[in-house]
Each structure stands twice: as structure tokens, then as C-alpha cells.
Amino acid sequence: MSRWTQHRVVAVDAARGVALLGMMAVHVVPALRPDGSVAPAYLAAAGRSSALFAVLAGLGLALLSGGSRPVQGRAMARVRVAVLVRAALLVAIGLGLGVLDSGVAVILVYYGVFFVLAVPFLGLRPSTLAWLAAGTALLAPVLSHLARPSLAPPSYVVPAPDFFRQPWPDWLTELTLTGYYPAVPWMAYLFTGLAIGRLVLTDRRLAGRLLAGGLALAVGARALSALLLGPGGGLAVLQADQPDLFGLPVATALQAGLFGTTPTGTWWWLAVAAPHTATPLDLAATIGSSLAVLGLFLLVLPHPAWWAEPLVAMGGMTLTLYTLHVLLLSGPLPATVPLAYLWHVLVVAALAVLWRRFVGQGPLEWLTQQVSRAMSTAVVPVPAPVASDGADPSR
């Protein structure tokens, strides 16, 4: 077993593997079946898989900065620099993938923004981070709803190098408030993951609470939305405001999901819990499902197990596999190929298992780690050890 593998949290990697499978399903499986209904795979994965990725990204930042015992002082300063460097690398990779004709709304540029916004909060306590997550989930959608009518409408283009040729207020607001993965409300996911990563992940009581509490939150948020839109009369108001959305009836669109935000014609839009709407109930439901998945794997996978090896292997190199998935969609394995999803799963799973066994860390993961570590050490050097008697240890 490699030194890199020994330091992985297998349950977290397995949860990342599930998130990757879900995102691939959303990219490959058609949202609608021939009869016009939403495909079951889409119903299960849309919104939830990307939210799980974002929560686990926050958890990963917590582990990077010390986990339940966060580093302090110069060590934390190095972590902050490393996170900023990783953000820049994610943006660069995302812009490269954005040039391809893959049909995927590539998320990596937005991830770079998430990481930049998370840097000031890395040293906070888990309770403070939990309050930030709750406050962001409740208030950010309201502020977004108020602000978006006065902002430029989203371009709905995948960020590529020419994305930044538009006036800077437009691309900035698209990345933070109006785009596919608006960073301001999505920080609720990052804060949630940071808070969990500051706890002791080996505590089985924590795992049980995450599972039970996550299920309650996910079910409760969806039930409240259904109550508001059905007996509460909200759906009729939405249909009067927007007879259709992106060519679909409103009721169907709310099942399949939108493209990052809702219209702003009525406050009733904040009552929906549809995927990729960034409403309070959408954020609550998808945070809940993310906590439940993580809690489940922390319970059933405290140690490596043979049955979870493909999931763990995929979850340990998601940046590499996500990039490969987008490359395959833009070339040899487009979504139109028969059994495309199965082929994508087989390719990434086989590569992940073999790479983990014989090499270890994924190539893009290794690159981002090495570059960020070198840059952070250059900016905030590690002090030379001092001998206990004050003598120069090099003598």
C-alpha cells in the first residue's frame, strides 16, 4: 500500500465515487424519456451528485488544513496559499475543458471560485461553519433573488478563455450569482463540508447523526416544497409567471431541474426544491442527501473493503476521471453512443482501480498537489529546525 493510500479516508473517497457516477449519469443519460417523463436516473442524480461533490470539496479543504485539529500560524498560511494555487489550477483545467464540444456544463472554473471564497474561513470552528452554512442556505438565495433583476442575464455558456472577454462585472456576476453553479449560494455546501471535516470522522455516533439528520433534512425540505407548491397554491402562481421553462412545462422542468437559478418574477420561486435552482429548499434538500450519503459510508466503510474498491478508487482521483469523462464525451464516447453511460463507468472504474493499485495518486491530483505545495512553501517558507540548545543544527 502506498504512503498516499494510507492517508486516505476510504468512506469519503467512496462517497466521492458515488458523486462521480451520479454526475456522469446526468451528463450521459437523457433527462426525458420518449413519453416526456423525467428519466429515473436523472431524478435520482440531478442536483444531488454535484451537491455531494461540493460538500466533499469543503470536507477535503478541512482535511487539508488539519481535520479535527486545524493547523495554525504559518502552517495555516501555507494552506491558504496552497488552496489559492489549487483554485487557479482548477480554473485553468476548466477553461481547457470548456473549449471542447462535450455538452457538459463544466464545473471546474466555478470550483476555483468556491476555493477562493473558502480561504478566509479555513480556520473557523465547526459550530461557526455550521451556522455559516445554514445562514448562507437561507439568505443567499433571497439576496440573489433581489439582485438578479438588475444584473446581466446569464450567458449559459461553459466558461472557456473567451468567457473573460466580456465586461468583468458580467463574468463575475455569472460565476457568483447567475450561472450554472452560482458560487455565493453554493458556499452553503462548502461551509457544510468544512464543518464536518473539523469533526472526528471515525466517531460512529457522528456517522449515525449524519445519516439520520441528512435523511430528515432531505425529506423534510422536499416535503415542504411539495406542500407549498401543491396545497399552498404555489405551482399555479409559477405557471402563471412562466408558462414554460426552456421549452418544458413548468411542472416537468421542476422535476428535471433548471440551470443554476430560478426566474425572479415572483417570490414563490423560492419555494421550489428542484435541482440546480439554488433556493433555500433546494440547498437544504441536497445538503441533506449529501450528509446522508457520507454518513452511510462512514458507518459501513470504516476500513477498506473489497466490495467498495471501485468506488474508493474512483473517489480518490475524481479530478482526473472527471476530466477524462469530459474528454470522452467530446470525442470517442459521446452521449449518443449506445450504452454510453455503461461504457463511461467501465472505462473510469477500470482505470481507477488499476491506477490506484499500481501507481497510487491520480495524475492531475499529483500535479495540483505538487504545484500547490511548492508554491505555498515558496511564499511561506518552512522555518529551519532549531536545536534545543540554540546551536545551529547543521553543524
pLDDT tens digits along 122-176: 999 999 999 999 999 999 999 999 999 999 999 999 999 999 998 999 999 999 9
Res 60 pLDDT > 50:
yes
Q: Confirm whether 311 is domain-assigned.
A: no
Rounded to an integer, what distance in angstroms lies between the CA atom of residue 108 and that of residue 89?
9
The angle that helices 280-300 and 183-197 make with each other, rounded to 10 degrees, is 30
Q: Confirm whether 226 is domain-assigned.
A: yes
Q: Could you tell me which of 31, 29, 36, 59 has the C-alpha nearest to residue 318?
A: 59
For 233, the domain range is 33-294
Rounded to an integer, what distance in angstroms lies between the CA atom of residue 267 and that of residue 281?
13
- For 108, the grid coordinates are 471546474
pLDDT of 213: 98
Q: Confirm whether 230 is domain-assigned.
A: yes
- Please work out, in degrees rounded to the nearest 5, the angle formed at the alpha carbon of residue 204 by the alpha carbons of 203 and 205: 90
* Across 175-180, average pLDDT: 97
11-22 pLDDT, tens digit per residue, is 999 999 999 999
Q: Confirm whether 218 is domain-assigned.
A: yes
189-215 pLDDT, tens digit per residue, is 999 999 999 999 999 999 999 999 999
Concatenating the DSSP letter of every residue in 238-275 gives: HHHH-SEETTEEHHHHHHH--SSS---S-GGGGG---T
pLDDT of 383: 82
Q: Could you tell me which of 270, 226, 276, 232 has the C-alpha nearest to residue 251?
A: 226
pLDDT of 2: 52
Q: Are 201 and 9 in contact (CB under 8 A)?
A: yes
pLDDT of 4: 46
- Please work out, in degrees rounded to the nearest 5, the angle formed at the alpha carbon of residue 2 by the alpha carbons of 202 and 350: 90
Res 228 pLDDT > 80:
yes
- For 192, the grid coordinates are 457544510
Q: How many domains does the chain have?
A: 1
Radius of gyration of the chain measured on its C-alpha atoms: 21
Rounded to an integer, what distance in angstroms lies between the CA atom of residue 245 and that of residue 362?
40
Phi-psi region of 257 (alpha: psi -120 to 50; beta: other; left: phi over 0): left
Quick one: DSSP state of residue 244?
Answer: E
Rounded to an integer, what distance in angstroms lies between the CA atom of residue 213 and that of residue 52?
15
Phi/psi at 359 (5° precision): -120, -55
Residues 6+ away with beta carbon under 8 Å from 246: 253, 258, 259
* Across 222-228, average pLDDT: 98
Q: Are 13 and 297 in contact (CB under 8 A)?
A: no
Q: Are 383 and 74 in contact (CB under 8 A)?
A: yes
pLDDT of 394: 37
Pairing between strand 248-249 and 244-245? antiparallel
Rounded to an integer, what distance in angstroms lies between the CA atom of residue 247 and that of residue 179?
19
- Please work out, in degrees rounded to the nearest 5, the angle formed at the alpha carbon of residue 267 by the alpha carbons of 261 and 273: 50
- Please state the pTM of the whole predicted model: 0.95
Q: Confirm whether 22 is domain-assigned.
A: no
Rounded to an integer, what distance in angstroms lies between the CA atom of residue 240 and that of residue 217?
30
- pLDDT band, residue 46 (cuts 50/70/90): very high
The angle that helices 48-64 and 280-300 make with each other, rounded to 10 degrees, is 60
